[in-house]
């Protein structure tokens, strides 16, 4: 038979701590911890930390003008600060009646004897000067010249060209002289719209319609085509930019012969 080891003979009570010993150690540790807190703990009062950059809410007052602009009824309804309210909310000041009343001063009437004294005094100190006697003048009166009134014909004697719009400020390098047209009636003016480039050349031309139906009846197609042809040959002085304007042709007519009878309008 094998023999048991010698260390197995030790009792079970010697292998660990007893419960009383454990309770003592826990109580000792707790007491030491409390003692350290009282000995080394800080006695300073706790002060709150100052807050920075915190959103703040401020109540607006009624007299703030920016708050009054957000009112949707500012212009739709009567407002306490508008122009008209300053009159009907401010009653006129009425003075309290004074019972110590007295009659207002009255001017004394003028006496009849006093009227005219100022004029009589002026005439006494400023006597009239005697007029000088008339001097006889035997010279004859100057001759009266006859008034000569020049006569100007109310009708034009030749056709003319007129520039309107921005083209009126640009100088024509070559004068345009429209001819007189053989026609036994009055021809309405031809209006041509021109677009001129900065160099001075005419870029485009367009015949403008009449402003009224009566003027439209007075147009002649041959005269309008002649106006377009003359407008395309125009040359203007150079400018900084494109120019748009009108060229108005006022036609002068001469009596038409049998060879140049009036065509249909």
In a domain, 27, yes or no: no
Model confidence pLDDT, tens digit, residues 194-205: 999 999 899 999
**Average pLDDT in the chain:** 78
Residue 222: inside a domain: yes
How far from 24 is each of 15, 27, 28, 35, CA to CA, in Å?
Answer: 19, 5, 6, 16
CATH number for the domain harbouring residue 209: 3.30.2420
231 lies in a domain?
yes
pLDDT tens for residues 104-155?
777 777 777 777 888 888 888 888 776 656 666 667 777 777 666 665 556 6
In-domain check, residue 171: yes
What per-residue confidence (pLDDT) applies to 16?
65
Dihedral sign for Cα atoms in the order 38, 39, 42, 45: positive
Report if residue 24 sits inside a domain. Answer: no
Overall number of domains in the chain: 1
The band of 10, judged by pLDDT with boundaries at 50, 70 and 90, is very low
Residues 218-229, mean pLDDT to the nearest whole number: 88
pLDDT (0 to 100) of residue 94? 79
Q: Is residue 193 part of a domain?
A: yes
Half-sphere exposure at residue 108, Cβ-oriented, CA atoms within 13 angstroms? 4
- What pLDDT, on a 0 to 100 scale, did the predictor assign at position 196? 92
- Where is pLDDT greater, at 227 or 110? 227
What's the rounded Cα separation, in Å, for the pair 214 and 240?
A: 39
| Structural domain range at position 191 | 160-254
Per-residue pLDDT of 45-88, as tens digits, reads 777 888 788 888 777 666 667 777 777 777 777 777 677 777 77
* In a domain? residue 202: yes
User: What is the rounded distance in angstroms from the CA atom of residue 265 to the CA atom of residue 250?
Assistant: 17
pLDDT band at 193; cut points 50, 70, 90:
very high
């Amino acid at each position: 038979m094998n023999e048991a080891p010698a260390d197995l003979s030790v009792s079970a009570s010697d292998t660990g701590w007893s419960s009383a010993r454990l309770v003592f150690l826990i109580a000792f540790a707790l007491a030491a911890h409390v003692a350290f807190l009282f000995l080394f703990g800080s006695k300073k009062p706790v002060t709150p930390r100052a807050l920075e950059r915190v959103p703040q809410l401020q109540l607006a007052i009624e007299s703030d003008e920016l708050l009054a602009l957000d009112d949707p009824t500012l212009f739709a309804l009567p407002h306490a600060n508008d122009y008209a309210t300053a009159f009907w909310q401010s009653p006129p000041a009425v003075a309290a009646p004074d019972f110590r009343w007295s009659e207002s001063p009255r001017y004394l009437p003028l006496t009849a004897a006093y009227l005219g004294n100022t004029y009589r005094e002026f005439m006494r100190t400023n006597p009239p000067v005697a007029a000088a006697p008339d001097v006889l003048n035997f010279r004859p009166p100057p001759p009266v010249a006859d008034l000569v009134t020049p006569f100007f014909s109310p009708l034009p004697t030749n056709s003319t060209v007129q520039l309107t719009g921005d083209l009126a400020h640009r100088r024509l390098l070559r004068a345009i002289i429209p001819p007189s047209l053989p026609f036994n009636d009055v021809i309405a003016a031809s209006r041509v719209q021109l677009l001129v480039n900065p160099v001075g050349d005419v870029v485009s031309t367009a015949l403008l319609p009449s402003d009224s139906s009566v003027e439209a009846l007075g147009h002649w197609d041959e005269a309008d085509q002649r106006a377009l042809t003359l407008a395309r040959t125009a040359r203007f002085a150079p400018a900084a930019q494109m120019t748009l304007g009108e060229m108005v042709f006022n036609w002068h007519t001469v009596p038409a012969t049998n060879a140049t009878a009036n065509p249909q309008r």
